[in-house]
Amino acid sequence: MKLGIHAYAWCSEWNNDQLDLIDRAQKLGMDFIELPLMVLDKFDSGAVGNRLKTLGFSACTSTVLLDDTDITSESPDIRVKGVEFLKRCVKATSEIGATNFSGVIYSKHIRQLDGRPTEREYTWSADCLREVADYADGLGVIVGLEPVNRYETFLVNTCEQALMLKEMIGRDNIKIHLDTYHMNIEEKSFYDATLAAGKDLMHYHLCENDRGIPGTGLVDWDNIFKALSEINYTGYAALESFVDCTDNMNTWVWRQLAKDGDTLVSQGTEFIRGMMKKYGL
């Protein structure tokens, strides 16, 4: 299993001023860094790719959809913009030499409906993501669906729903990205959900129930790592916590979750590597 860190452990927005975070992640013993693509206009894929290549370091990317890129919008124009945005994210991922792109890419992040979603929202999402997946396949990029909690999306809250949407899309390079913070709210069992993802699991966010330092809260880490061991998981897994509020997505960081980003990374990494050793990962 490859252990990494999300850049938002240190910053609230990615731009070239943050390039040194790639060096910091490597020096802290990470296997990769997860880079946010929320503000694509400030993401310099050339500069990022050069830094990664110079260091011999790895990265993956993630994003969320917002108002003007919602592929479950009733507006066909907005759905087209959403597909175009996701294709640009895939292109940026490929340009930095990465192969994994994921996130809340199936519907707008933070959107309320008057009732439960219907087949049309799932169909709109699947149709748009099928086009994105075909584009990504040509660039050798895997696309991951990340279930998040009911307060952040109406469409995909559980691994079971992500697998259903994957089947509707019908493309082999559509995979599953699980996140323990959201699983703590929505799943009945960390173990069962992880096993259900199985061979389709491509990324795992290792978050405590309060998004603080892993191992200091309520998440059932033993059953998570037991399941990861049983499926022989060798993919990406990242610590994800947010150091501050940001204006490009909701993070809800109303208090200090760790002394600082380095403390979160060092203590969280120590705990996670201990669990990896315990379960042979």
The answer to whether 159 and 186 have CB atoms below 8 angstroms apart is no
**186 catalytic per annotation:** no
**167 catalytic per annotation:** no
d(CA 148, CA 43): 25
The answer to whether 215 and 271 have CB atoms below 8 angstroms apart is yes
Within 13 Å of residue 103, how many CA atoms lie on the same side as its CB? 23
Give alpha helix (H) positions in the chain.
Answer: 20-27, 45-55, 76-95, 119-138, 159-169, 180-186, 190-197, 221-230, 261-278
Which is the catalytic residue, given 121, 146, 152, 186? Answer: 146
Q: What burial letters (b/e) apply to 221-248, b meaning 16+ CB within 10 Å? A: bebbbbbbbebebebbbbbbbbbeebee
List Cβ neighbours of 110 (8 Å cut-off, separation of 6 or more): 151, 152, 153, 250
Which is the catalytic residue, given 34, 121, 187, 240? Answer: 240
3-state helix/strand/coil string of 22-42: HHHHHHCCCCEEEEECCCHHH
Q: Tokens at residue 212, please? A: 């603080």
Question: Alpha-carbon Rg of the chain, whole angstroms?
Answer: 17
Q: Is 85 exposed, middle or buried (0-12, 13-18, 19+ CB in 10 A)?
A: buried
Q: Please identify every residue annotated as catalytic.
A: 146, 240
